[in-house]
Structure 1
Amino acid sequence: MINRLRFEPKELEMLRFLSRRLELPLKNENQYLHLEKGYAGEQHFDRELQDLPDSCIILNDLLLENSNTHFQIDTLLIAGGTIFIFEVKNYEGDYYIENERWYSLLSKTEIKNPLLQLQRSETLLRGLLKEFGYHLPIKSHLIFINPGFQLYQAPINIPAVFPSQLNRFLEKLKTIPNAAKSRNLKLAEQLNARCLKENPYVRIPEYTYDLLRKGIICSSCTSFLARFTQGYLTCGECGSKEKVDTAVLRSVKEFAVLFPDRKITTNTIVDWCGGIGSGKVVQRILVRNYEKKGRGKASYYQACQREEKVNGGQMD
């Protein structure tokens, strides 16, 4: 089984880092929680697909373009001579359909019809396949992964897999006969090559370095670490201990993600970590884990070349 690996969306990573260091506007806070839950649902579905035969090809998180229009596919499966599109939804609670509109039963508010997004992706993918010279059948499904989800008044022919149906659906996928694997591999490579490297629709609130709270964040409870003794940092809230090297490196990663255009220097990281640990401690950690550029006060650090590889388009 060939996989296009799924990586955490940059938008989610940035919002998570920001949420710990400033108070996000309500709109962005809801956006962050929505992305976090959605990503958890996609990871859950990834685990469910692990037992499919090796003849199946799975491409995760495809961001494609056709006819000057972008579209995203959570999971694409090539099995036999068929392409499956899966749109994963981690909805929780009770929902219902009325006059082809979707509503939350609790709030009575209308939500986006996920079928429209699924149909749009299928149409655009079909156009892309035609461009590649393929005329394979496409089967699209909404995957409701959360066992706490219930949909009322759904038509019997809705292209969806509900939590109670997932195991049976996966068993059915396992019975699909093998097809020409070389053709499927070629198609997978073409789709992977056409993936956009960056999402053009990332929505991040404006922020500056001075606006963000400085310090090292506990990896267990997300409070700010305060005590530094004998090479360890201790959280005053939950009591967890962490090696200073691990904690500082995690903080450097946050800084690099939030400020990709700023140089990583010893003084900058000391300030970013809220003064926890001396300049000598931070410098030692940077020297061991990053590549030093320049000399004296003009020196700075950057990720080693092996760490800078873009993994988003890799297939294993």
Structure 2
Amino acid sequence: MAYKDRVKPELLRIYEILLTRTKISKDAYYYFLNLKKGFDGESLFDEYTKQFKIDHLFLNDLQLEVRNSSFQIDALMISTKVLVLYEIKNFEGLYQWGKEKFTRTSGTFLENPTMQLEKTKVRLELLLLEKGYSLKVEAYVIFVNPEFTLLGAPSDANFILPSQILGHFRNVQAPAQLNAEQIKMAEMLANQHDPIYPRKNPHYNYSDLNKGIICPECGTLSKIYSGYFHSCNKREKKVNVKKAIQSSIEDFRTLFPEDKLTSSRIMDWCGCGNQKRIYRVLRNDYQMIGKNRGRYYG
């Protein structure tokens, strides 16, 4: 059971929006692909926990800090006797294990995630100790991609390989009643989560972005639209214009959180469409703040 649900990282959302409205550099695109692949892997992990209906508490995507050192946890399972820390990896391909790196026959390599896992485990234990908890912490790197193979890994490595995932989750299915202290600990960790931790946002300007409404299903940008429905060229289906306007407004808020939602700005952002439809969405779905020329929506 998820005590703290996983949400799509805001940085990933920013890149997804930018890809529909502008061209980004090759390096930025590869960075986006890595972000997306990581989130896809974490979502696949969540599907396993839902599939087995595990009774223990899960806290997903925690950003924590202890002694001025920040650390990130992909997933943490709280049971009656132990905490299980999961570092989720969505690697694919054939690799040879090494103490510091995994290497392919082509010569490319990946950093051995055990090094990061140990740092995260120690920092979690320090945080728990500072908060008055001494529960045992187990830590695993779990490789969720079925197309990943690792050769030569030592038998005592804290790895859960794709072929071991089902067996691992079967072993943790035993129902156990969590006590109030463990639920209190889960609440403490969730409250310690910092959703606005420092990150390197891509650089973009409003004037450089293409305007229009986005098809909520496929991301196609329409610069001209009218009526209640609009034909999406990519999907060859009708797009609900109201939903597309709502989605585009939320995209604007993601990209420009400090800017006010004014009717003139959103009409420009949504392109050459029916301005009355845009105004109606703002009036019905957002709170009007101020009057006359100083009016905006929140």
TM-score, with normalisation over the residues of structure 2? 0.94
Instruction: Give the match for residue 213 of structure 1.
Output: 210
Per the alignment, do residues 68 and 226 of structure 1 end up closer, same or farther by CA in structure 2, a change over 3 Å counting?
A: closer
Instruction: Give the match for residue 248 of structure 2.
Output: 251
Percentage of matched positions with identical amino acids: 33
Is the 8 Å Cα contact of residues 95 and 152 (structure 1) preserved in structure 2? Answer: yes
Instruction: Give the match for residue 60 of structure 1.
Output: 60
Instruction: Give the match for residue 232 of structure 1.
Output: 229
Is the 8 Å Cα contact of residues 85 and 139 (structure 1) preserved in structure 2? Answer: yes
* Alignment of structure 1 residues 54-203 onto 2, 5 Å: 54=55, 56-98=56-98, 100-105=99-104, 107-175=106-174, 178=176, 181-200=179-198, 202-203=199-200
Per the alignment, do residues 179 and 244 of structure 1 end up closer, same or farther by CA in structure 2, a change over 3 Å counting?
A: closer
Q: Does 2:290 align with 1:291?
A: no
Point out where structure 2 has 5 or more consecutive residues left out of the alignment: none
Distance across 1 between alignment mates of 2:135 and 2:127: 11
Is the 8 Å Cα contact of residues 93 and 148 (structure 2) preserved in structure 1? Answer: yes
Of 269, 281, 284, 1:272 maps to 269
- Cα deviations by residue, 1:176-223 (Å, 9 ceiling, x for unpaired): x736511211211121121113121x2222111001111122233323
SS in 1 for 2:140: strand
Is the 8 Å Cα contact of residues 52 and 173 (structure 1) preserved in structure 2? Answer: no
Point out where structure 1 has 5 or more consecutive residues left out of the alignment: 303-316
Letter aligned with residue 162 of structure 1: L
Instruction: Give the match for residue 313 of structure 1.
Output: none
- Cα deviations by residue, 1:94-143 (Å, 9 ceiling, x for unpaired): 22223x13234254122222111111100101111111222221110111
Letter aligned with residue 108 of structure 2: T
Is the 8 Å Cα contact of residues 227 and 233 (structure 1) preserved in structure 2? Answer: no
What is the CA RMSD across the aligned residues, in angstroms?
A: 1.7
Is the 8 Å Cα contact of residues 226 and 233 (structure 1) preserved in structure 2? Answer: no
SS in 1 for 2:244: helix
Which shows bigger deviation, 107-116 or 255-264?
107-116
Is the 8 Å Cα contact of residues 122 and 138 (structure 1) preserved in structure 2? Answer: yes
TM-score, with normalisation over the residues of structure 1? 0.89
1:229: Cα distance to partner? 4.4
Distance across 1 between alignment mates of 2:266 and 2:205: 16
Is the 8 Å Cα contact of residues 57 and 78 (structure 1) preserved in structure 2? Answer: yes
SS in 1 for 2:48: helix
